Structure formats: C-alpha cells, structure tokens
Homo-oligomer: A and B are copies of this chain.
Amino acid sequence: MSLFSNLSSLADKTLAGEESVFVLTDRNVEKALSPLWEESAILGGAKRMVVEAGEESKDISTLASVWEWLSRSGATRGSVMVNVGGGMVTDLGLFAASTFKRGMRRIVNLPTTLLGMVDAAIGGKGGINVGGLKNEAGVFNPAVERITDTAPLLTLPREELLSGYGEMLKSGLIASPYLYTRLTRDIELYLENPQRLSRDVEETVRIKEDIVARDPFEKGERKALNFGHTVGHAIESLLMERGKGVPHGIAVAHGLLVEIILSHTVLGFPSAELYPYSEMLKEWFPRLPLGCKDTDPLLDIMTHDKKNRATSGLINFTLLREAGRFEIDCELEREEVATALDIYRDLTAAL
C-alpha cells in the first residue's frame, strides 16, 4: 500500500471504460505524485501534458499550447480531460477543456493542494490571467467532476497547507460555526497531520457545492464565498505587483481579519470572536509586508474589482452578522475600509 493507493483506485474507478483520456499537470505535481502514474492504469496510460509550475503558467500562451497539444494528440469532443494539480492547473485545464472544440464531454479535476480541494477545483470556474489581472478570461462550467483524496497533502510545504486553511476558515465563518471553531482550536494538530482534515475538507466542499448549486452564475448568494476576498484579492494583487507574491489563501486569511473587523463595525459581529481569530492568524500565518502607505493602493485595487459596478466608487463586500450569518452586497465608502485596515495593522503588528 503506497500513499496513493486509495487515490489511484478512486481515479481508475471514476474513469473506468474511458479510452481517450488526457491529463494536464505541472512539473512539481508530476514529480511529487510519481507513484500515481505507476499505480493508476488509466492516469498512467493517458496522454499527459506537463506545464511549468507557478501562477505564470496561467496565461494566454500556455492556454494556446494546451489547445494545440489536445489538437495534435487527437483529442475529440468525446475525450476526457483530467486536471491533476493545484488551482493553476485546474483553472487552466478547465478553461482549455471547456473551450476545446467548444467543450469536451467530461472534465475531471483531481486537486493535489488543500486550496484546490476546498476551493479552486470545485464550483466550475476556470480561467487565465490577462494583462496581470487574475482570471480576466475564463468560463463557468458547472458540469466539472472531481476526484478528492487527502494523500497529496502530505507532499505539501506548510505554506501551501495554510493557503487552503484560509479558505476553510472562510467556509466555516460564512456557513458553519462548528467547522470554524474546530479549525481555529485545532490548527496545530491539523497542520501536523493534514490527512486528519478529511472530514473538514468534505464539509468545506459541501458548503461550497451547496451554495454554487443554488447560485451557479453568481447572481446573489454565491457572493457569500467572497467573504475575505475583496481585501484578500487586493493584498494578493498588490504584493504580486511588487514581486512579493503570497499564496492566495494566506492573503485571504489576512483579508478575513480585515473583513471581520468591518463586520464588527458595520453589522455588529461580536468582538469576542474577533480576537481569537487575530491571535490564531498572528501565531500560525506568515506576516505580510503591508504598512500605512499601502492603504491607498489597496483601496484603488478594491474599487476596480470585477464584482464592483464601474461607477459608484463604493466597494462591495460580503460581511457577517455573526459566524454563519452573512449579508451580501454591503457597499462601503473607502474611508470605512481604510479605518478597518488601520485596526488590522494594529492587531497584527505586535508580532
């Protein structure tokens, strides 16, 4: 029994009978999961394209090379695409496969990171970055399938685990106070034994899938999933511009604190729950290089987020009344957000 036995049989069962299978992965994942290619007859026997690891591959030229590879390798509309990797691979592969010959019949995500398992690989969003803007081109494809097993988590560095952890914290905050409490209380245990996250991963997936099923095209309730992301995305973009890229879910974990502060000031989110979060963030998550002079650039990025209407100048948030009770479309003035960023810096400064 190798680490990947369970995953291999799961994959072979899901893909049983498929004769035309195409696998997209990246160089790091291909190596970290090398036993998988031996153990799974179908994944090992499939045609495989390996792209460079890293967000840089989520671009137009890599998208073009995936289309060209599928075309050259004889993929048809009836073929199956399996995206094996983190969010970069599943986003890129879902977009490429959803548009190859106007859409392949089966598209399967096999997430290998915690962030992928709980977020990127579910919900049917695929896309690439254009002109430095994240997911500026892409598709919604709710028909995407998923194969999840926590074994690959043992191959990840801690930073990658924390990135997924940030999204799990968000899911708990918007929909399950119990999940949220377990995650904040047991973070040390989980980071040391990530396979123990299985049950919580399943719950996080169910939370997202339920919300997505009720609102597949992000008309309303799905905006709940953006909690922590208005600020999180802005932090991520700003640091990326400066060449100090930070994993998505770590930016989100920091964004969550800012938006919990806003939830407190705007909707009365209980302060008793604010401090445990900021303590956990300080103890376990990396500190980010953000100072007072970054407030304006962050606010500028938030104002241009694709979830905002172009003209109002207000910034759109999902906020919480308490853990498990969210409110979408809270439109705030820049000043209110600037104040929350000040409080965030005070709370996280005493490291």
Interface residues, chain A, CB within 8 Å of chain B? 20, 60, 63-64, 67-68, 71-72, 74, 76-78, 95-96, 98-103, 125, 127, 130-131, 133, 135-140, 306, 309-310
Neighbouring B residues of A95 by C-beta, 8 Å: 99
CB pair A127–B139 under 8 Å, yes or no, is: no
Contact of A102 among B20, B77, B127 (CB under 8 A): B127
Assembled-state Cα–Cα distance A20/B310 (Å):
9
- State the main secondary structure of chain A at its contact with B: mixed
Cβ contact of A100, chosen from B68, B78, B96, B137, cutoff 8 A: B137
Give the 6 A-B CB pairs with smallest separation, nearest first: A60-B64, A102-B138, A67-B130, A99-B137, A67-B137, A68-B131
Distance, CA A99 to CA B133, complexed state (A): 14
Measured CB to CB, the nearest residue on chain B to A76 is B310
The answer on a CB contact under 8 Å between B310 and A140 is no
With A67-B130, A71-B131 as known contacts, state yes or no: A76 contacts B306, CB within 8 Å. Answer: yes
Copies of this chain, tallied across the complex: 2
Contact A133 B71 (CB under 8 A): yes
CA distance A140 to B138 in the complex (A): 14
State the CA gap A79–B347 with chains docked (Å). Answer: 40
Chain B residues lying within 8 Å of A140, measured Cβ to Cβ, are 102-103
Task: Give the interface centre of A60, A67, A102, A138 by most chain B CB atoms within 10 Å.
Answer: A102
| A130 near B306: Cβ-Cβ < 8 Å | no
Residue of B nearest to A138 (CB): B102
